[in-house]
Structure 1
């Protein structure tokens, strides 16, 4: 942001005693970005925020999202977080209805599960397209286009009469609904100051994660009571409701702070809600659509991404996707009963988020306090990955072993307890591994988010194609052993290597850049 010239006379001799008093008693250091502001700009910020200790420094405009009132910021965050939930929620809604879909469309249950596998892949690839477009044309137009498209294709899914038609409509629905999973983090950065971002990012991340286990719980009832096609009708209604809320309560957060001219309230309203235009005039190139994939050359990003993707696959996706087929065959459950099995996963995810987020922050803060120069290597955070791995391995083993040992037709809660334990570990690793990668290259935070999502979704896309074959070949107990072996080889051991090299790869790559 260009810095305005400081009006020395007005600053030193003016009669603005309220700001002078605030400056005298402020606890923040006199930073250059504050000292170089004009007196009018300083007065404006103090009236808006009651302080000048702001990171980053907002412009002198009511249209700047940093200057929005608290209710407006929080409302927009909730809209984006809920949109992120619906992005992962949508592919998972039909999980308890695989049997009904297979019977209605005359396909196997495994082939019905490919509908979700296809959507998982698109959730990974779609953000590569949406992020550059949202940078040029704004977040609000992308969200509105997202909801219009997903609304139309959810209706198409509800009316599809063949497997191919349903697969095509589901694919387009997922492509349109996925932007919040790509640019939600950017909205948080553009709206909230640095000291607020961790908490707000946590809200967005948790909602994004909870979409997968929440969907089967809710729509198991729908599929059983009124039929699986009503799943798509209800999703279309949700999209329409979101669209209405965005139109009236979801302003644009992509703001050009190079223009420091004060604006009237009318122009502010138009700027935030009704001005659809190209915001960034930088030429759009093909390379920008695949730019996050270049992070594959950074071991401190690639290893956490692969470790996270493998543990997510073996401790979450394999349970969520295969639970309906396993429990339908073992216990004869209907879609409603299948949906209830996901309560354990939801509880585990909530517990894991608290452990991963709060414990991780405490762990690093404690290390800094004991450090001579108040610094700590990012690799110190990885110590908390090991409990996450152990939870994932133990929970996966419990789920498969107890499902195998359960007598035919006699359900017990222990497999669900195992699924919950695995979810605790998975959610802990989500925070620890992604935060570690961002700690290493914080200037690449946005691209790291897209890259990690891409790697995770590609692994999870492949899984449903070989899960059933593995179950038939080695049984459920043998499959638990395979899953643990994959997590040890692809996640646990590479994390040990990262800690052993103590950042040498990170520094080497920085030097190479």
Structure 2
């Protein structure tokens, strides 16, 4: 019996029919086509790799894992750089002669520009390659992060943090495209989970140690330390990570295979048949027209803002006022539960997502459906809002701090589940457009999170922390509800709208 075709091949067949190809031509094409390559369960690999050993899909497992580890470390250090200063807002505010709400913009501005950065850099990475973009932007981020520690006034610090976010935020959007460059659909849940847990944990571990850095050194070192760490990883990256962008156009495949040496030295443009065009910078927003992108991105952006950044931005203010915590105590109460919750959440998220996808594909006789990934998000719809409510109730009633920690951990568990689910689902729906998807998700997440600094504390002062947090929790829950019709109708909507017409060669 012939192996069943996956959705990409079925879609290609449908496109051929729509363009005037007859059923006879399709049958002849199928007879001439090489046999499908299968995964360990006997299902067609998606995407189908070429016969080139330098195709990232064909790399040795150890090389893929090394690249994944280093890109994940860049992502970790991006939000680590953003959040390490948060427990030290009190001494920083005294130095800058600003109130705590205004001082929090030091983190908020980084978050905002990190969201904008991949809109600019990902189109360049699609032509010139992931490797040169990583190297150039991370090097600039190291410089601006270190310079932030030497800033003498508020205006200079905010300007440097904006530049730090613009360059340092690139791995937050480009990393998901790198994962899709190297891994097949049936394993992306696991490896996308490794990537997503890395950048989330960076923002979560930072407060854990930021208070101690401020206490034993000074707040200046909350900028120097991430600059030093990121610079060290960059040096290793330069000597060990090859280019992962691989063009599958006939022209590119026909060219002589690039040696590993020329790959590392970046002697050849990664995509030889493409040029950067103005429209490429607007491609991420073009993807909003697809419900399979818009609804998950919308849901995830709200969840990230209220299930992570809300805790980070408000912790110094609320923990200091209610529990009279010092910076290191604030960092511990924020960092430990938010990190533990994320790690446990990822143990559930990535592997379970792949398991659900594989089991249901086997039940259908080999046909994969990206919507199966949405089933793994169900726990997040309950746990993230529940955790937000628990923290708000505990802070309002000034209970023991263990209740606050419990709420943060529950919300973080749910956030990690939805993070892995959304990245994997959208990439499985539109793999060739994964750079644009990473840019859009990063943009929505970071830009919406930026706004929290303007209204979270004033809102809580007006209606009370408990009512404010309950309101935000219900807002987060409401944005999970559109995923229900998406589960049942997503495949139909994608078929009706067709596939994007760009990046079909990736």
Asked whether the two chains share a fold, i.e. TM above 0.5, the reply is: yes
In the comparison of the two structures, how many residue pairs are matched? 460
- Could you say which residue in structure 2 is the equivalent of 1:78? 69
Q: Deviations over 1:462-487 (max 9, x none)?
A: 11111011111111111122112212
Shift of 1:125: 0.9
Q: Deviations over 1:243-265 (max 9, x none)?
A: 321232223333565255467xx
Q: Deviations over 1:293-351 (max 9, x none)?
A: 11222222211111111122222221121112110111111111111111111111111
State which of 193, 197, 207 in structure 2 corresponds to 1:202: 193
For residues 147-166 of structure 1, the aligned pairs below 5 Å read: 147-166=138-157
Contact 1:59 1:260 (C-alpha < 8 Å) held by counterparts: no
Change (3 A) 1:128 1:158: same
- Could you say which residue in structure 1 is the equivalent of 2:214? 223
SS of the residue 1:358 aligns to: helix
State which of 118, 122, 128 in structure 2 corresponds to 1:131: 122
- Could you say which residue in structure 2 is the equivalent of 1:56? 49
- Could you say which residue in structure 1 is the equivalent of 2:504? none
C-alpha separation in 2, matches of 1:343 and 1:501: 40
Q: Deviations over 1:260-286 (max 9, x none)?
A: 5467xxx53243235365753523211
Change (3 A) 1:73 1:365: closer
C-alpha separation in 2, matches of 1:441 and 1:274: 28
C-alpha separation in 2, matches of 1:268 and 1:188: 20
C-alpha separation in 2, matches of 1:278 and 1:501: 37
State which of 262, 275, 288 in structure 2 corresponds to 1:296: 288
Q: Which moved more, 1:441-450 or 1:475-484?
A: 441-450
State which of 455, 467, 474 in structure 1 corresponds to 2:456: 467
Give unpaired runs (5+ residues) of structure 1: 1-28, 36-51
C-alpha separation in 2, matches of 1:112 and 1:426: 26
Shift of 1:66: 5.2
1:105 aligns with 2:96: yes
For residues 317-466 of structure 1, the aligned pairs below 5 Å read: 317-341=309-333, 342-371=335-364, 373-375=365-367, 377-406=369-398, 411-466=400-455
Change (3 A) 1:483 1:270: same
C-alpha separation in 2, matches of 1:419 and 1:254: 38
C-alpha separation in 2, matches of 1:204 and 1:480: 29
**Which of the two has higher C-alpha Rg?**
1
TM-score by length of structure 1 reads 0.82
Shift of 1:106: 0.3
**Aligned-residue CA RMSD in angstroms?**
3.0
Contact 1:382 1:432 (C-alpha < 8 Å) held by counterparts: yes
Contact 2:189 2:351 (C-alpha < 8 Å) held by counterparts: no
1:233 aligns with 2:224: yes
Contact 1:55 1:194 (C-alpha < 8 Å) held by counterparts: no
Contact 1:224 1:334 (C-alpha < 8 Å) held by counterparts: no
Q: Which runs of 4+ in 1 moved over 6 A?
A: none
Shift of 1:395: 0.9
Shift of 1:59: 1.9
State which of 240, 244, 250 in structure 2 corresponds to 1:249: 240
Shift of 1:216: 1.0
1:305 aligns with 2:297: yes
Shift of 1:197: 4.5
Contact 1:135 1:280 (C-alpha < 8 Å) held by counterparts: no
SS of the residue 2:314 aligns to: helix
Contact 2:186 2:357 (C-alpha < 8 Å) held by counterparts: no
